């Protein structure tokens, strides 16, 4: 079975994606989200991610809170609308790191939970993932996990596991 490093933004988004991929991959979740606006929010989401993964038997790799990495990358894009150029830069930042970690740690492939959200453009995310695949020379498992009621299933699973569901992507700009 191929080893997959799955980038996750939060526990609720990971629920359905893990269910979809678990029969085909040995999954480890990587929690790398420098875009999150406060340490408190970062830790709350991390705690929920770990709690869910513990419940379903999936390992979690934590990457420490590093908001300056995100702020440096999106400098000049602060005024962009949600879903615009700033978001694409953020996706690339997280997918680059996930791919590099996957290679470094001996995984066969990498993926992300980001496409489960109806607020995220799966075409943009998957095209970035494929570009990173080419650059880093490690397979990207693309998907549009919101299809076939994926988002709805993630909400149901989040309720079942009593997971905290935030109402914004995490960055201070999306709070507007």
Rounded Cα gap, residues 102 and 96, in angstroms: 10
pLDDT by residue for the chain (176 residues), tens only, comes to: 999 999 999 999 999 999 999 999 999 999 999 999 999 999 999 999 999 999 999 999 999 999 999 999 999 999 999 999 999 999 999 999 999 999 999 999 999 999 999 889 999 999 999 999 999 999 999 999 999 999 999 999 999 999 988 887 888 888 76
User: In the chain, what are the domain boundaries?
Assistant: 2-160
Full-model pTM: 0.96
Query: Which residues 6+ apart lie within 8 Å of 164 measured at CB?
Result: 11, 12, 44, 45, 48
The pLDDT of residue 76 is 97
The pLDDT of residue 19 is 96
The pLDDT of residue 168 is 76
The pLDDT of residue 167 is 80
Superfamily of domain 2-160: HUPs (3.40.50.620)
Q: What is the largest CA-CA distance in the chain?
A: 44
What are the phi and psi torsion angles at 85 (to 5°)?
Answer: -60, -35
């Amino acid at each position: 079975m191929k080893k997959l490093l799955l980038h996750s933004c939060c526990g609720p988004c990971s629920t359905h994606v893990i269910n979809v991929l678990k029969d085909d991959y040995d999954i480890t979740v990587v929690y790398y989200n420098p875009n999150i606006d406060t340490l408190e929010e970062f830790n709350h989401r991390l705690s929920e991610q770990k709690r869910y993964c513990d419940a379903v038997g999936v390992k979690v790799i934590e990457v420490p809170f590093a908001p300056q990495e995100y702020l440096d990358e999106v400098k000049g894009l602060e005024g962009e609308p949600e879903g615009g150029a700033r978001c694409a830069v953020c996706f690339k930042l997280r997918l680059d790191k996930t791919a590099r970690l996957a290679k470094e740690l001996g995984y066969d492939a990498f993926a992300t939970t980001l496409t489960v959200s109806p607020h995220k453009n799966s075409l943009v995310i998957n095209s970035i993932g494929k570009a990173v695949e080419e650059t880093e020379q490690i397979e990207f498992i693309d998907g549009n996990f919101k299809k076939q009621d994926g988002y709805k299933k993630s909400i149901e699973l989040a309720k079942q596991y009593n997971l905290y569901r935030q109402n914004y992507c995490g960055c201070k700009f999306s709070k507007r």
